[in-house]
């Protein structure tokens, strides 16, 4: 990929818009958002993310490698936080108010312009621990700078809040100086030797699976997803940029993401889209039922066929489809369910996969879709409330943002969120990894444990290098 030798920021346009923002702020007595987007010479957004993240700046990263689409945000122009069951609605309302009198200019395209980036915790009713400090129950950031790559085209978005006494000329000059050269970050090819520790010993976790199966057989719920927590330790600090680079190479069909805050980074390469909303079209997937990849083409085909004909996995998958469909009927006018389930083959694991497409009713947004879908039975269980209560009382770990919605939304209320699985929280030379398994009536503890080990391989391979 050709790398630009210099950045050219259109200072005159930024200064013009900033001056208009100050005038409006004086007229209304309220802060005004100004957002300007322009084309850039081609650069790698991941290099930009890594360079900024290493300096301690709060950063966000998002990439669909196979689609050649990537976004990297740095700094904080505006921050929206929330708590409890109303966090999705409250976030949307605060975002709407900020955009009401916003001044925007330049390029208007998918993933370009004023974009909120961040996510939510898995369960706002679960007490948090020090492990997830700085992330909270709901945190979405309007970055000061957003770099977007779409195929061979790159764009820079600058966001700023102007108040009545802002100096538009000085602020515009400061912004223009933020891009005087392209990122020069080099991804580290050095491998790491890891030591691993199960936070909950294997036999204890298997006993929990047996307990869940017993409760299912007693009729308390039909399915529950139980997660494992594993700590990985290296002799040197993990570099988020390098790990993301490995993930995008290893899993080009996944969504590679990162949210870096306060010197730590939550990173992952998830195969599971929670929901995408673009031009009123809703896209999501049912992803439930898993088996390992084979070491030979013949074994891989055999395992895939075994998954396709497994009553246990097909039943689990059908339950997820039914409940996603039930949730989307609340906000969609039409729905299409792909049939029958197909195989999604990833590097370490293959899943049963069904695409679901709908048309959103008017006056709704992607955050409403996130609210009705999260958590899907693929990450929580069914019935939802009973399964979540069992998780709270028995799982014994702080999921934080694991298995939770992570993503972005634009000024139109459209965007994309994924389920944050195949993920790890990096903190210096330690990493906390999570993997979950769907437990149903005929689940076997040993098989579920082995499945969780297979799911952990994706992140462990990226940590090791």
Which positions are annotated as active-site residues?
223, 272
CA-to-CA distance for 421 and 402, rounded, in angstroms? 6
Torsion sign, CA atoms 37, 43, 48, 51 = negative
The structure tokens listed for 280 are: 């009123």
DSSP string of 52-96? HHHTT--EEEEEEGGGTEEEEEES-SEEEE--STTHHHHHHHHHH
Give the ranges where 331-422 is alpha helix by DSSP (H): 366-373, 384-394
The structure tokens listed for 236 are: 């040197």
CA 282 to chain centre: 17
Provide the 3-class DSSP secondary structure of residue 237.
coil
60 beta partners? 73, 259
CA-to-CA distance for 390 and 39, rounded, in angstroms? 50
CA-to-CA distance for 399 and 395, rounded, in angstroms? 9
CB within 8 A of 309, min separation 6: which ones?
Answer: none
277 beta partners? 282, 415
Strands 415-419 and 405-409: antiparallel
CA-to-CA distance for 341 and 241, rounded, in angstroms? 35
DSSP string of 184-211? -----------EEEESS-HHHHHHHHHH
Query: Among candidates 207, 217, 264, which has minimal Cα distance to 239?
Result: 264
């Amino acid at each position: 990929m050709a790398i630009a030798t210099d950045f050219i920021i259109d200072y005159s346009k930024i200064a013009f818009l900033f001056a208009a923002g100050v005038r409006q702020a004086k007229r209304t007595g309220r802060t005004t958002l100004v957002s300007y987007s322009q084309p850039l010479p081609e650069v790698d957004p991941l290099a930009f993310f890594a360079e900024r993240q290493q300096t301690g700046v709060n950063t966000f990263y998002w990439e669909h490698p196979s689609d050649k689409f990537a976004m990297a945000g740095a700094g904080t122009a505006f921050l929206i936080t929330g708590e409890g069951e109303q966090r999705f609605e409250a976030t949307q309302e605060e975002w709407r108010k900020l955009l009401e009198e916003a001044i925007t200019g330049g390029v208007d395209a998918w993933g370009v312009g004023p974009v909120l980036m961040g996510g939510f915790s898995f369960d706002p009713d679960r007490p948090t621990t020090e492990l997830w400090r700085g992330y909270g129950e709901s945190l979405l950031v309007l970055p000061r700078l957003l770099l977007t790559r779409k195929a061979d085209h790159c764009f820079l978005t600058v966001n700023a809040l102007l108040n009545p006494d802002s100096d538009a000329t000085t602020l515009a000059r400061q912004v223009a100086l933020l891009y005087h050269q392209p990122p020069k970050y080099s991804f580290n090819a050095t491998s790491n030797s890891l030591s691993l520790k199960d936070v909950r010993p294997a036999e204890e976790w298997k006993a929990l699976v047996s307990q869940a199966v017993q409760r299912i057989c007693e009729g308390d719920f039909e399915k529950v997803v139980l997660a494992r927590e594993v700590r990985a330790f290296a002799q040197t600090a993990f570099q988020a940029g390098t790990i993301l680079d490995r993930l995008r190479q290893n899993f080009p069909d996944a969504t590679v993401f990162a949210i870096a805050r306060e010197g730590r980074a939550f990173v992952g390469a998830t195969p599971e889209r929670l929901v995408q909303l673009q031009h009123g079209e809703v896209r999501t997937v049912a992803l439930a039922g898993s088996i390992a990849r084979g070491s030979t083409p013949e074994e891989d085909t055999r395992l895939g066929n075994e998954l396709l004909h497994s009553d246990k996995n097909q039943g689990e998958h059908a339950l997820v489809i039914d409940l996603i469909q039930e949730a989307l009927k609340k906000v969609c006018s039409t729905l299409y369910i792909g049939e029958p389930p197909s195989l999604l083959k990833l590097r370490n694991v293959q899943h049963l996969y069904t695409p679901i497409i709908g048309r959103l009713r008017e006056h709704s947004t992607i955050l409403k879709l996130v609210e009705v879908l999260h958590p899907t039975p693929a990450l929580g269980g069914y019935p939802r409330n009973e399964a979540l209560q069992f998780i709270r009382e028995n799982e014994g770990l702080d999921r934080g943002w694991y298995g939770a919605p992570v993503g972005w939304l634009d000024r139109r209320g459209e965007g994309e969120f994924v389920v944050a699985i195949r993920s790890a929280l990096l903190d210096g030379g330690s990493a906390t990894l999570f993997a979950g398994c769907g437990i149903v009536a005929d689940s076997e503890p040993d098989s579920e444990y082995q499945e969780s080990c297979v799911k952990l391989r994706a992140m462990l391979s990226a940590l090791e290098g």
